[in-house]
Amino acid sequence: MQNSILDKFTKEALDAARASNTYRTMRLLESPEAAHIELHTAIEGAPRHQILLASNSYLDLANIGELKQAMAEAVLEWGTGSGGARLTTGNKIPHEALEAEIAKFKGEEAAITFNTGYMANVGTISALCGKNDFIFSDELNHASIIDGIRLSRAKCFVYKHNDMADLERAIADAKKAFLETAREQSAENFRGLIVTDAVFSMDGDLANLPELLQITKKHEVLLMIDEAHATGVLGRTGRGLAEHYGCAHADITLGTLSKAVAAEGGFVAGKQQLIDFLRNKARSFIFTTAMAPAVAASAHNNLKFIEAHPERVQQLQDNVKFFCERLRSEGLNVPTSPSAIIPIVIGDEAKAMHISEALQKEGLLIPAIRYPTVAKGAARLRASLMATHTRKDLEFAAKKIISAINNPVSSLRGT
């Protein structure tokens, strides 16, 4: 009886996902995250050993001996779990030390950590905005931003991707709607927040921070940027988008510790009062157990490693430049963004899947990203680079990608 009710709840959705080719499965890695991995592959003829061009661990810090040792020592000192929420007993010395380090790294007054970047977005947006507020969101923003907006119940205006004119139009529309529906209000009571990815996760392009700052000033609204894919990647020392452009910071800078920092957790950095506010109001900070102190210690150590090794950031940026130029020299239309995410747009969903599978048979793991993650007909190979990919790895990858794209028939054979 129970089972048939459960079937009703789940079967239709799963059948629909299978029918539309959007049913999700997971690949299994049999080795740690690194530039070279051992993959439990389901594709016949594909070798276990693969070059990984699909990782968010951009600086490849997860396997550095001294960083693993430091995390192991933190487990021995602080135990396996935190045992409480930050506001009860969970707050330990490593949590506060990590937050001080993040603030220093980002050049802000203070910082607060969450257990994931997802929780940072959801908690921050829903704490800052309520149903009388207006949020302006880039159409390609990450799902965690979208979920935060939904939870806030604010009125959301989605603007065209990176289109500053459309953003200004949306702000003007929102102000007009605000004055029409609340005649007793004056324009000064209008509360708006622009929110954007710093690096867009499927396209790898950057938000235009200098222009966004001008718009926020002109229209007296707030700006929040999500530096999940920018921290440790952009700017001479990996500080992120503001360092890349050499401009001021957004009002609210959010990020994750799970990508280039190679640990786990999310953060917000900004003015002390903003951080005090989030500690009091962000529900995904308050109503959850604190991250394990050893995870906080690990994120802290890894962040300090990035600060001490700007050459590692440079190595990543050099790799991105080399790889993109190599692909471009063969006529591939690869964007000129300095981020470590490189979309190679194929278009057709099935073709992208087949090329990705053919590359796996050559020992190269580059996922195909399809609808609904990206628009229909905009399927792509999404390559992401690491600082430790060698020129030999990248040369091999470029050759195989170009050959698979130029000879789709032979790359499809046998798949």
| Residue 117 vs 204, nearer CB to ligand PLP | 117
Residue 192 within binding range of ligand PLP, rule CB under 6 A: no
Within 13 Å of residue 341, how many CA atoms lie on the same side as its CB? 21
Locate all alpha helices (DSSP H) within 79-190, ordered by sequence. 93-106, 117-128, 143-152, 164-181
Residue 196 within binding range of ligand PLP, rule CB under 6 A: no
Q: Which of 264, 281, 268, 307 is nearest to 94 (CA)?
A: 264
Smallest separation (angstroms) from ligand PLP to the CB of 51: 22
DSSP state of 258: S
Smallest separation (angstroms) from ligand PLP to the CB of 103: 18
Instruction: Report how far residue 336's alpha carbon sits from residue 303's, in angstroms, rounded to the nearest whole number.
Output: 27
Contact residue for ligand PLP among 58, 105, 118, 190 (CB under 6 A)? 118
Contact string 356-385 vs ligand PLP (x = CB under 6 A)? ------------------------------
Contact residue for ligand PLP among 55, 60, 108, 117 (CB under 6 A)? 117
User: Which residue among 142, 155, 229, 249 is the active-site one?
Assistant: 229
Smallest separation (angstroms) from ligand PLP to the CB of 126: 15
Smallest separation (angstroms) from ligand PLP to the CB of 255: 8
User: Which residue among 142, 249, 259, 354 is the active-site one?
Assistant: 259
Residue 244 within binding range of ligand PLP, rule CB under 6 A: no
Burial of 127 (0-12, 13-18, 19+ CB in 10 A): buried
Sign of CA dihedral 212, 217, 223, 228: positive
Contact residue for ligand PLP among 82, 144, 231, 319 (CB under 6 A)? 144
Unique residue bearing structure tokens 């990647």:
233
Residue 231 within binding range of ligand PLP, rule CB under 6 A: no
82 belongs to the catalytic site: no
Span near ligand PLP by CB under 6 A; candidates 36-44, 81-89, 225-233, 359-367? 225-233
Residue 58 within binding range of ligand PLP, rule CB under 6 A: no
Q: Which of 341, 412, 398, 290 is nearest to 140 (CA)?
A: 341
| Residue 201 vs 337, nearer CB to ligand PLP | 201
Report how many residues bind ligand PLP under the rule CB under 6 A. Answer: 14
The residue number whose beta carbon is nearest to ligand PLP equals 117
Instruction: Report how far residue 408's alpha carbon sits from residue 397's, in angstroms, rounded to the nearest whole number.
Output: 16
229 belongs to the catalytic site: yes
Residue 203 within binding range of ligand PLP, rule CB under 6 A: no
Contact residue for ligand PLP among 123, 266, 293, 338 (CB under 6 A)? 266
Contact residue for ligand PLP among 256, 284, 301, 319 (CB under 6 A)? 256
Q: Do 292 and 94 meet the contact criterion of CB atoms below 8 Å apart? A: no
Residue 142 within binding range of ligand PLP, rule CB under 6 A: yes
Residue 124 within binding range of ligand PLP, rule CB under 6 A: no
Burial of 414 (0-12, 13-18, 19+ CB in 10 A): exposed
201 belongs to the catalytic site: yes
User: Which residue among 55, 57, 152, 201 is the active-site one?
Assistant: 201
Instruction: Report how far residue 313's alpha carbon sits from residue 320's, in angstroms, rounded to the nearest whole number.
Output: 11
Q: Residue 246, Cα to own-chain centre: how many angstroms?
A: 22
| Residue 126 vs 411, nearer CB to ligand PLP | 126
Smallest separation (angstroms) from ligand PLP to the CB of 228: 3
Instruction: Report how far residue 51's alpha carbon sits from residue 361's, in angstroms, rounded to the nearest whole number.
Output: 11
| Residue 116 vs 298, nearer CB to ligand PLP | 116
- The long-range contacts involving 154-159, CB below 8 angstroms and separated by at least 24 positions, are 154/129, 154/130, 154/193, 155/131
First to last CA, the chain: 42
Q: Which of 232, 282, 297 is nearest to 252 (CA)?
A: 282
Q: Which residues contact 162 (CB under 8 A, 6 or more apart)?
A: 138, 205, 207, 208
What are the catalytic residues? 201, 229, 259
Interacting residues toward ligand PLP by CB under 6 A: 116-118, 121, 142, 144, 197, 201, 226, 228-229, 256, 258, 266
